[in-house]
């Protein structure tokens, strides 16, 4: 599933084609994805201007001139692809429709934005912009890891006394929003913290080091366009490249890259998800 860097990369890719532009027409080609679409979604989107395109956790939020916000979640395999962009940043010609093109935005500037989702685990909903943060998909989310409200004192307090493994704590979207399996593995590796260590038993100084490391990992991944694993593509159809710099994720059996360690990356399963780490230098 795309994590924060992938979703942020898609948002940035969509901005030139959508932000400040009217949706001339919206085609909704099925009644649902993971959940039913809102009533009259095509009518409510057609003619609306996209005033702002932002991100909250793993969701893209399109604030519309109608006073509503379109909430988009890519799910496991959802892709937003742009064609015909007049700025010349993407493909000039519109491709033939594909089987899993479920929602299509025909923009007034000539661009076409297509939401394609083969597995249909994605989602879209409309909510009043003034209260979108109270929507059931967003209301329990913790702070953004790249925002000012995610800081060392905050993380120390949220992890204090927790008996869950640190890996599970950082994946808890109520503690910090947007982190997923890949980037938690990478951050814990750089911090030298084992994914199985109880969150409440990690010293305060070590917890504090996690905040800048998490920011660093996410920023590097965004700069690289995310990590292309299985279905993920950027909005222009290109692959992300952060997977080529993985230090631990998906490197089971390979040498640890920490200088002087000499250990080997191991894989364990935690709550049904693979954790990759070095048992020698992550304590």
Q: How far apart are CA 195 and CA 208, in angstroms?
A: 16
- For the chain, the domains span 4-134, 152-277
Task: Give the H/E segment covering residue 25.
Answer: strand 23-28
pLDDT digits (tens, 9 = 90+) for 31-76: 999 999 999 999 999 999 999 999 999 999 999 999 999 999 998 8
Q: Is residue 238 annotated as part of the catalytic site, yes or no?
A: no
Cα distance between the two ends of the chain: 28
Q: Give the closest residue to 277 by CA, choosing from 250, 243, 248, 254.
A: 248
Q: Is residue 3 annotated as part of the catalytic site, yes or no?
A: yes
Q: Which CATH architecture has domain 4-134?
A: Alpha-Beta Barrel (3.20)
137 Cβ neighbours under 8 A, 6+ residues apart: 59, 71, 73, 123, 125
Q: Is residue 2 annotated as part of the catalytic site, yes or no?
A: yes
Confidence of residue 203 (pLDDT cuts 50, 70, 90): very high
Q: How far apart are CA 182 and CA 99, in angstroms?
A: 30
Catalytic residue among 11, 55, 56, 58: 58
Residue 244, pLDDT above cutoff 50: no
As a whole number, mean pLDDT of residues 250-266 equals: 93
Helix axes 4-18, 204-223, angle to 10 degrees: 40
C-alpha radius of gyration, the chain, whole number? 20
What's the pLDDT score for residue 40?
A: 97
How many residues are there in the chain?
283
Provide CATH code, domain 152-277.
1.10.8.50
pLDDT digits (tens, 9 = 90+) for 78-118: 888 888 855 555 555 777 777 889 999 999 999 999 999 88
As a whole number, mean pLDDT of residues 257-275 equals: 93
Beta pairing class for 23-28 and 123-128: unpaired
Q: How far apart are CA 149 and CA 136, in angstroms?
A: 21
Beta pairing class for 101-107 and 23-28: antiparallel
Q: Phi/psi at 185 (nearest 5 deg)?
A: -60, -45
Q: Note if the pTM is more than 0.75.
A: yes
Catalytic residue among 252, 273, 279, 280: 273
Catalytic residue among 2, 16, 143, 165: 2
- Phi-psi category of 161—alpha, beta or left, where left has phi over 0 and alpha has psi -120 to 50? left
């Amino acid at each position: 599933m795309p994590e924060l860097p992938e979703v942020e990369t898609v948002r940035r890719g969509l901005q030139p084609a959508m932000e400040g532009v009217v949706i001339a027409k919206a085609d909704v080609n099925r009644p649902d994805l993971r959940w039913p679409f809102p009533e009259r979604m095509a009518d409510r989107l057609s003619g609306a201007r996209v005033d702002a395109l932002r991100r909250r956790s793993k969701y893209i939020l399109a604030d519309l001139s109608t006073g509503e916000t379109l909430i988009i979640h890519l799910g496991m395999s959802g892709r937003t692809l742009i064609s015909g962009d007049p700025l010349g940043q993407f493909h000039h010609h519109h491709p033939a429709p594909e089987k899993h093109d479920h929602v299509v935005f025909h923009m007034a500037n000539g661009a076409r934005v297509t939401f394609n989702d083969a597995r249909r685990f994605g989602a879209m909903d409309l909510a009043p912009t003034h209260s979108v943060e109270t929507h059931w998909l967003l209301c329990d989310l913790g702070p953004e890891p790249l925002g000012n409200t995610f800081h060392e004192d905050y993380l120390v307090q949220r992890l204090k006394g927790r008996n869950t493994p640190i890996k599970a704590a950082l994946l808890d979207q109520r503690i910090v929003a947007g982190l997923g399996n890949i980037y938690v593995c990478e951050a814990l590796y750089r911090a030298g913290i084992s994914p199985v260590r109880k969150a409440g038993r990690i010293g305060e100084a070590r917890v504090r080091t996690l905040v800048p490391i998490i920011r660093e990992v996410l920023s590097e991944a965004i700069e690289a366009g995310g990590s292309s694993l299985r279905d993920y593509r950027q909005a222009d159809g290109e692959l992300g490249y952060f997977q080529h710099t993985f230090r631990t994720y998906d490197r089971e059996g390979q040498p640890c890259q920490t200088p002087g360690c000499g250990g080997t990356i191991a894989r364990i399963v935690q709550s049904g998800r693979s954790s990759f780490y070095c048992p020698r230098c992550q304590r």
